[in-house]
Structure 1
Amino acid sequence: MFPSISGSSQIANTISAADKVYGLSKFWQEVNYNFVYLDKIDRNVWDSTYKALISQVQETKNDYEYYRLLQKFCALLNDGHTNIYTPKIEGLQIMQNMFGEHLVVIKRIEGKPVIIRSWKKDQQLLPVGSEIVEVNGMASEKYLRDSLLPYISSSTDYVKLNSATHWMLAGAPGSDFNIKIRKPDGRLSQLQLKHAKTTDSIYFPEFGKLFDEQKRELLDFKMLNNGVAYVGLNGFSNRKIDTLFDEVLPKLYNAKGLILDLRFNGGGSTDIGTYILKYLTNDDILQHSRYSTRDHLASFKAWGKYVSEKDTVNNAWNTKCWLVNNGTYFYQFPYEPDSFILDKKRVVVPTVILTGNNTASAAEDFLIAADNQKHMIRMGEPSFGSTGQPLVFDLPGGGSARVCTKKDTYPDGREFVGYGVLPHIKVAPTIKDYLSGKDVVLEKAIQYLNNKIK
C-alpha cells in the first residue's frame, strides 16, 4: 500500500528519468501482450493514461513517488494477481497505527472502518468498537475512495475496501490526521493524531483474543462435540500439509460431520489441495478449473488490422484475425478432470467448508473442485476472487511487477475471478461478535452439522 507522503525530501531519488519511462513502458508493454483480462478494461483509458504518465513519471521527486504512480496505473486493471512491488527505498518510513501516545488499529466490519485495538489507557478516548466516520474533514467512505482505493490492485471491491481500511491512517512520521469517531454509545468525538513512535505496550484487547489472531499451524485438527471434526487447512504453499493430513486421516474415520476451514488459506499449489480433497469424496475423478491464456499470432494481428467486426460474420478466418488484432484470441488448455485411485479409506460425511475474503488463489481452486460435491456446502463470506498464473519481471530501482496470464473459471465456464466463490450460507461477524472474540462462522457450522447428524 502506498499512502501519500508530503515533505519527502529525504527519500532517495536514484532512478533516472529515462529508467522511469522505461519501467512504465515495460509494464504497459507486458500488460498489452500478456494480461489475460485485457478484454475487460477500457483500452482508450489505459493507453491515454500511459501517454499522460510518460511526462508525469519523469517529474516525480523520488523513487517512492514514481512507484506510487506505477501502482495507481496498475490498479486500473482491477486484478488481484497483477501488482507493482516497491523496492526498499532509502529514507522512506511509513507508519500505520502508532500516533505517539495513541494507538489506532482499524478493520472493516459490517462495512465500516472500526477501531479494533488501542491502548488500554485510551478506552475512554478511543474505545474499541468506535467507527471512524471522518478523516481530515471528509466522510470516511469518500476518503477511502478518493485517497486509497485508486492505488489498490484487486479483483473485488470488498477486498479493495478491506485493504484501504486497514491502511487508511498510514503516513510518514509527523503526518497529521484529524479524525471523527462514533463511539459505541453513539457519541461523536474528534481527535487530532500525529504519527510518532510510542513506548506504551499495554494493548486492549490483548493480542490473541480476537478469533482471527489465534495461533494457527499449517494444519489444525480437533474433535468437537457430537462427532464433528474440525480441520483447518491454512495454506497450500508447503507440501508438508499433505503429510500432516495423512497423519490425521485415521482420526477422521470416526467423524459424523466435518468442518474444513479455509478462511486463512491464501493459496499456493492447486495439486496440494487436490491431494486432500480426493479423500473427502466418493468420486474417482475431480473437476477442476478451466484455464485459458491469450494467444498472440503476429501474422494474424497484421491481417486483423484490415478486418472490421462486420467482416467476421460467418467467417472463421476473419474472426480469428479480428480477435488476435484486438488481443482477445485465447488458447484453451486441454481439459481433463483429475482421476485417481486411492489405497486408503475415504471420509464422506456432511461437510461444511468455511470461506472468507482471504481464501485465495489455490484455496479457491479447492472450492471449485469441491463445487459439485453434494455432501459439502460453503459457509462464511465470499472468497478473495483472484487466481491465475502471474508473469513476474523486474523494474528499475530494484522493484518488480507481475501480470496475470491465465484465466480460471468453473468447469462450466462460470467466472469467479472478480466475484469470489460465494458461500451457500453467508455468515459474517458483527462488530460485537468480533470484539468479543466470538467465531460466529464456526459456531454456525457446528450448529448446521449438529442438525444434519441428529
Structure 2
Amino acid sequence: MTKHVLFAFLLLTFQGIAKAQQISETEKLASTAKIWGFLKYYHPQVADGKFDWDNQLLEILPKVKSANSKEALSEIYLNWIDGLGEVPPCKKCDKKSDEAYFDKNFDLTWFYNPDIFTTKLSDKLKFIEQNRFKGKQHYVYAPYKEVGNIALKNEPEYKNLDWTDPYMRLLIAFKYWNIVEYFFPYKYQTDQPWGEVLLTTIPQLQSASTEKEFHSALQELVVKIDDSHGWFRAPTDPKTYFWPAFKTEILNDELVVSGFYKDSLRLNCPLKKGDVILAFDEIPVQDLMEDNESLVWGSNKAAKNRTLKYCFVRSTKKSSRKVKVLRGNEIKEVKVEYFEVDALRSKPDAFKSWKIIQDSIGYVNMGKLERGDVEEMMEGFKDTKAIIFDIRNYPNGTMYHIAHYLVPERRNFFKMTYPDLDYPGRFIWRDGMQCGSFKNKRNYSGKVVLLVNENTQSHAEFTTMALQIADNVVTIGSQTAGADGNVSNLELGGGIKTSLSGIGIFYPDGTETQRKGVRIDVEIHPTIQGLRDGRDEVLEKALELAKS
C-alpha cells in the first residue's frame, strides 16, 4: 500500500513539473520576437549586417514552434546564437559614461524569466549585452545627430508581401515591436506594458484570415504605443473617401455638428450647428465609436476623439446617408449628401494672420503667421494691452522670432532625450535650445494669452512651451494632443507605413508633455450651446483675461 501511494505521489509530482515546464505557443513566439530583436541591435555580427536577419527569423520560427519544453526552447536559441559567430570582449562597454541617462524605458529583465529561459541562455544574453556592438548600426541611424531620432535602413521593402504566410505576418509585427522596444522614447508610458502587448497581438496575427484582418491587427499594435504621432497606413485602406458638408466634434462623448466646410454647401444641408448626431444609416453613433476605438491612434482621449469621428463620418461611397440627429428636444431623420474632398475646399479667407480686436487687444492666428510677418506684427502690437496667440492649429516655425519680442533674456523652455545607438533601449538627456533675447531693449510689456486644444500637436505644443516662458503669460483651453518630438517615419514592408515620436520632450524641470499635453492655467471646453450660438468660448475667455 505504501509503495502504491509513493508511486502515485511521484507520478503526480513529475506530471506537475512537466506541466510547469510547458510553454504556450504565444509565449514561445513572444520570446522569439524579443531575442530576435535583441540580437538584431546588440550582437556584434548581426548589428554589423552580416546576416539576412529577416530570413533568420523565418528559419527559426518552425523550430521554435516544435519545442515542447523550456529546455528544448532554450537549446534552440543557444544553438542559434552560437551559429552567429564570436562575441568578442568589448573593453569600451564597461567604461562608465559621462552621459546623463534617462532609463525609464530600459528593461532587459526579460532575460531572466525562469518560466521561459534556462539559466544558461539568460547568462548568454547578458554576456552579449555586456559585450554589445559599438559602431554604425546596420538597421538604424540618426539622420540628424543634433536631434537624434532614428530612421530605418537596409530593411527589405517586400513589395509583394505574402500576407497569407503566417511567419511573414509575425515578421512585420516583430520588426515594429522591436523598433518601439529600443527606440521609442515614451515606451514607459503606454497603457498596456509593452512586453505584454505581444501576448495579445500574436493570436490576432495568427488568426487573420484576410489581408484586411492582418492590417487591422498591425494597426491595433501601433495604436498601443499611445502616441498621436503614431498614424498607420496600409494597402487595404480605401483610396478615396467622401465627406458631408458639415464638420463635427466629440463633446462629452456626443458627436456634434460644429460647422461647415463652405457656406454654399451649408445652405443645402439639413443639419445645423449644435445638432447632436445619434446615428448614421440607423447604426447608433455610440456603437460606431466602440467599433472603431481600437483602431484610433492618439496620446490621450482628446486626441483620439479628434481622429475617431472621421472613422464613421466619412464614407467610401458618394451616395447620401441617412442621419438621425437630436436638435433641442426633437429627433430628426434626414438624408445628407456626400461630396468629393475637392468640392469641400474653400478659398482662403482674406483675414491676415494678425489684427487688433476689441479694446486694443492683438490677435494672432499662428497657423497663418509666417516668419517674415513677425517684425511688422510686433510693431503693430507694441502699444496693445494684450496679445492672444491662437495655437489651435499648426504654426510655421515662428516661435523663436516671437520670443525675441516677448522674453527679455535667453531662457530654457525644454529638455530632451534621444536614443543611445551604442546601447539600444537607453536614452540620453540633452539640454534644449533657449529662446528670448538680450539685445531687444523694448520687450513687449502687455499680457500674453495662449489658446490651445486637441489640435495643438507636436510643433504647436513646442511653440506653446517656448512662448510660456514670457513674463506675463497665461495658457487657456483644453488638453493638447500630447505628442511632442521629431517624428520617425517607418516603412515596415508590403506598403505598410507608420510613424512615432522619435525624441522625448520635457519641460526644463523634467515634467512630461507626452500624453499629458502642455501646461494649462485656465481650462475651458467648448459647449454644445456655444456651438449653436456660433460662439468661440475659448476666445471669449481669452478676451476676458486680456482685459482684466
- The alignment's TM-score, normalised by the length of structure 1, stands at 0.71
1:172 match: 316
Q: Secondary structure at the match of 1:342?
A: coil
Does the CA-based 8 Å contact 2:205-2:217 persist in structure 1? Answer: no
1:173 is paired with a residue of what secondary structure? coil
2:418 match: secondary structure: strand
In structure 2, what is the equivalent of residue 107 of structure 1? 249
> Is the 8 Å Cα contact of residues 407 and 436 (structure 2) preserved in structure 1?
no
Which of 338, 345, 350 aligns to 2:442? It is: 345
2:404 corresponds to which residue? 278
Instruction: State the secondary structure of the residue aligned to 2:371.
Output: helix
Q: 2:292 aligned with 1:163, yes or no?
A: no
Structure 2 Cα separation of the partners of residues 222 and 243 of structure 1: 16
1:180-213 alpha-carbon deviations (Å, 9 max, x no partner):
432x23123456x7x98569x999xxx98xxxx9
- Residues 158 and 352 (structure 1), Cα distance of their counterparts in 2 relative to 1, 3 Å cut: same
**CA–CA distance in structure 2, aligned partners of residues 142 and 415 of structure 1:** 34
**Correspondence 1:291 to 2:416:** yes
User: Offset at 1:376?
Assistant: 0.8
Q: What is residue 16 of structure 1 aligned with on the other side? A: 162
Percentage of identical aligned residues:
18
Match of 1:309 in 2: none
* Higher mean displacement: 253-262 or 165-174: 165-174
The answer to whether the 8 Å contact 2:215/2:236 transfers is no
Residue pair 1:93, 1:173 contacting (<8 A) in 2 also = no
Q: In the TM superposition, what is the alpha-carbon distance from 1:121 to its structure 2 partner?
A: 5.1
CA distance, structure 1, for counterparts of residue 319 and residue 173 of structure 2: 29
Go from structure 1 to structure 2 and tell me whether the alpha carbon gap of 1:66 and 1:331 turns closer, same or farther (over 3 Å shift). Answer: same
- Residues 201-239 of structure 1: CA deviation (Å, up to 9, x unaligned): 999xxx98xxxx98377x71112232222222116xxxx
Alpha carbons of structure 1 residues 373 and 340: separation in structure 2 relative to 1, 3 Å: closer
Q: Which runs of 5+ in 1 are unaligned?
A: 1-12, 299-323
Do structure 1's residue 215 and structure 2's residue 359 form an aligned pair? no
Among 200, 206, 212, the residue aligned to 1:55: 206
Contact 2:407 2:471 (8 Å CA) reproduced: no
Write the distance in 2 (CA, Å) between the matches of 1:38 and 1:332: 16
* C-alpha distance in structure 2 between counterparts of 1:268 and 1:388, whole Å: 16
CA contact (8 A) 2:299 2:515 kept: yes
| 2:520 equivalent in structure 1 | 423
- The within-5 A match list for 1:147-158 is 147-158=291-302
- Which structure 2 segments of 5+ residues have no match? 1-158
TM-aligned CA deviation for residue 174 of structure 1: 8.5
**Structure 2 counterpart of 1:187:** 330
* 1:169/1:177 contact within 8 Å kept: no
Count of aligned pairs = 379
Give the superposition deviation at 1:339.
Answer: 6.4
Q: One-letter code of the match for 2:412? A: Q
Provide Cα deviations, 1:116-165, integer angstroms capped at 9, x if missing partner: 45864563xx5543212356777534531x21221111111111112212
Structure 1 268/336 Cα, relative in aligned 2: closer, same or farther at 3 Å?
closer
Say if 2:297 and 2:304, in contact at 8 Å, map to a contact too: yes
In structure 2, give the amino acid aligned to 1:55. Answer: Q
In the superposition, relative to structure 1, how do residues 361 and 279 fare at CA in structure 2: closer, same or farther (>3 Å)?
same
1:154 and 1:66 map into 2 onto residues whose CA distance is 21
Instruction: Measure, in 2, the Cα distance between the counterparts of 1:442 and 1:158.
Output: 19
SS of match in other structure, 1:357: coil
Instruction: Indicate the residue corresponding to 1:227 in structure 2.
Output: 360
With over 3 angstroms needed to count, the CA separation of the structure-2 counterparts of 1:293 and 1:52, relative to structure 1, is: farther
The whole-number CA distance in structure 2 between the counterparts of 1:181 and 1:225 is: 36
- Relative contact order higher in (CA < 8 Å, ≥ 6 apart): 1
1:79 to 227, 231, 238: 227
CA distance in 2: counterparts of 1:398 and 1:268, whole angstroms: 30
- Say which of 181, 187, 197 aligns to 1:32: 181
User: Are the equivalent residues in 2 in contact too, given 1:110–1:431 (CA < 8 A)?
Assistant: no
Aligned AA (1:221): W
RMSD between superposed Cα atoms in Å: 3.6
